[in-house]
């Protein structure tokens, strides 16, 4: 389980395709604290560390075809920065919201507005069961726990403070870019129960 509070930015140093799988090698500041089999969220996608390279200071994760189809990982290339978060430690501080690292779908960034001290982002996504946002509710965008507003059936807005803008990949996000979305788990369960 994750909280959507980004610990660090990682940089993809290598991408290798093997059958329908894709392996991503990532350099990060907390490389030395990782272990093989550990789960790490990369732009909100829970991936398992499968290899470590002490000399290079990198870890490698594997994305299967299902993950590549439902996320934006298929477009990742060397040099891309990604938001990283390790799993919540038992007894750790719970600062964001419950994030599983199971991306529901991708969304398109429609607009970015510099508001002289904060940034306003608008996202549009496909409608469907469980794709629910509520005004002032939680949403996870590329692994970042945020509060959404101007919520509609197919979109929402978020406001980004300077710290988040500086310490996540939001500073690189442009209109037309695709992001990973994980809707609030509580909202998904309520939506499913109400459909019964």
Place of tokens 């038992």: 90
Domain count, the chain: 2
37 located within any domain = yes
Residue 79 has pLDDT above 70, yes or no: yes
Residue 30 has pLDDT above 70, yes or no: yes
Does residue 115 sit in the same domain as residue 190?
yes
Q: Which of the four pLDDT bands, split at 50, 70 and 90, describes residue 188?
A: confident
186 located within any domain = yes
Q: What burial class does residue 162 get, using C-beta atoms within 10 Å of its C-beta: 0-12 exposed, 13-18 middle, 19+ buried?
A: exposed
Does residue 180 sit in the same domain as residue 111?
yes
> Which domain CATH number covers 56?
2.40.30.20
2 located within any domain = no
Q: What is the pLDDT of residue 134?
A: 87
Does residue 48 sit in the same domain as residue 116?
no
Q: Which of the four pLDDT bands, split at 50, 70 and 90, describes residue 98?
A: confident
Check residue 101 and give left, alpha or beta (phi > 0: left; psi -120 to 50: alpha): left
Q: What mean pLDDT is predicted for residues 34-58?
A: 96
Q: What mean pLDDT is predicted for residues 126-142?
A: 90
Q: Which of the four pLDDT bands, split at 50, 70 and 90, describes residue 190?
A: confident
Average model confidence (pLDDT) for the chain?
A: 93
Residue 91 has pLDDT above 90, yes or no: no
Q: What is the pLDDT of residue 104?
A: 93
How far does Cα 142 stand from its chain's mean position? Answer: 3
Length of the chain, in residues: 196
Q: What is the pLDDT of residue 129?
A: 81
Q: What mean pLDDT is predicted for residues 75-92?
A: 90
98 located within any domain = no
Residue span of the structural domain in which 133 resides: 105-194
Does residue 111 sit in the same domain as residue 183?
yes
| Alpha-carbon gap, residue 90 to 77, rounded angstroms | 34
135 located within any domain = yes
Does residue 167 sit in the same domain as residue 122?
yes
3 located within any domain = no
Q: Which range has the top average pLDDT, 88-97, 131-140, 169-178?
A: 169-178
């Amino acid at each position: 389980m994750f909280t959507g509070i980004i610990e660090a930015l990682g940089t993809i140093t290598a991408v290798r395709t093997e059958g329908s799988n894709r392996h991503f090698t990532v350099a990060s500041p907390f490389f030395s604290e990782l272990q093989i089999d550990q789960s790490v969220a990369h732009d909100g996608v829970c991936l398992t560390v499968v290899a470590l390279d002490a000399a290079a200071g990198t870890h490698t994760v594997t994305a299967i075809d299902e993950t590549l189809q439902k996320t934006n990982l298929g477009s990742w290339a060397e040099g891309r920065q990604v938001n990283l978060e390790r799993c919540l430690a038992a007894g750790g501080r719970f600062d964001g919201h419950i994030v599983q690292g199971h991306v529901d779908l991708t969304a398109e960034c429609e607009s970015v507005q510099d508001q002289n001290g904060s940034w306003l982002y608008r996202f549009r996504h496909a409608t469907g069961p469980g794709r629910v946002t509520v005004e002032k509710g939680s949403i996870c965008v590329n692994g970042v726990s945020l509060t959404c507003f101007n919520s509609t059936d197919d979109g929402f807005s978020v406001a980004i403070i300077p710290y988040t803008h500086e310490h996540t990949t939001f500073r690189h996000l442009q209109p037309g870019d695709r992001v990973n979305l994980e809707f609030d788990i509580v909202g998904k369960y309520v939506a499913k129960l109400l459909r019964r």
